[in-house]
Amino acid sequence: MKHIILNNHEGMSDYCANIILDSLNQNPALVLCMASGHTPTRTCELLVEKIQKEKVDTTKMTFIGLDEWVGLPPDNEGSCHYYFQHHLLLPLGLKPTQFHLFDVLSEDLHKECEKMNAVIESKGIDLMIVGIGMNGHIGFNEPGIPFSNKCHVAKLEEITKEVGQKYFSGETKLDKGITIGLQYLMQSKQVILLANGLKKAAVIKEAIKGPVGTAFPASIMQTHSNGLIITCSEAASLVQ
């Protein structure tokens, strides 16, 4: 695993957008899996700008959404579905056959997990871009979840529900999440974890220097042979 430190959020977003762009240029049939959240927003904006400017072919790529809050309709502006649609899928004009997002209104979430497991097992993931939660989670892989998990529904920790309120305009009941499991992170050909701001400094230190184990899911990054952590200098301030 490598750690790259850029000056600020703009710098790290540009660096990450360029990696995605290069991957797409090298492999138009790229399978890209991404987290939503505040951290990757600028990466998405820059990626869309670069793809449009360079007229990169996106008709063969596949997009997979990493996770979703259970029970939220896709038109809820705080949902991952809404985020992906507005930041990537619509601007890039991806066809419904090119993307896979969890349907959290489904009565059978187990089936949703099986469907996503089947997509990932048939296509594989070339590039996974994730963030990190304030308890070290990746996606909704909360502390204690085995690294061998495939897609699953997770009961969310209090801190995840509290911090998650930032995505919504009014108080929103959050209880469970559905997520791609860490087994698939390990099987992805390349994984990038993005973190910015002083608020992420402690979790970045734990992810990079702490013991590897399920108590802190992001520690799994230390074991990925093609894992990259990209942070700004503030988020890296406790590991420099």
Catalytic residue set? 67, 135, 137, 142
Tell me how far, at minimum, the Cβ of 199 lies from ligand GLP, in Å. 8
CA neighbours within 13 Å on the CB side: how many for 198? 0
Contacting residue, 131, 181, 217, 227, with ligand GLP by CB under 6 A: 131
* Neighbouring C-beta atoms of residue 198, cutoff 10 Å: 12
212 vs 224: CA distance, rounded Å: 11
Contacting residue, 6, 37, 116, 234, with ligand GLP by CB under 6 A: 37
Residue 136 binds ligand GLP (CB under 6 A)? no
Residue 33 host element (H or E): strand 31-34
Radius of gyration of the chain (CA): 17
170 vs 34: CA distance, rounded Å: 25
Binding mask 147-166 for ligand GLP (x = CB under 6 A): -------------x---x--
Tell me how far, at minimum, the Cβ of 49 lies from ligand GLP, in Å. 20
Q: Tokens standing for 54?
A: 């360079």
Residues in the chain: 240
Nearer to ligand GLP, 5 or 193 (CB): 193
Nearer to ligand GLP, 11 or 27 (CB): 11
Contacting residue, 140, 149, 180, 216, with ligand GLP by CB under 6 A: 140
Residue 38 binds ligand GLP (CB under 6 A)? yes
Buried b (16+ CB within 10 A) or exposed e, 179-196: bbbbebbbebebbbbbbb
Residue 217 binds ligand GLP (CB under 6 A)? no
Binding residues for ligand GLP, rule: CB under 6 A, are 35, 37-39, 66-67, 130-131, 133, 139-140, 160, 164
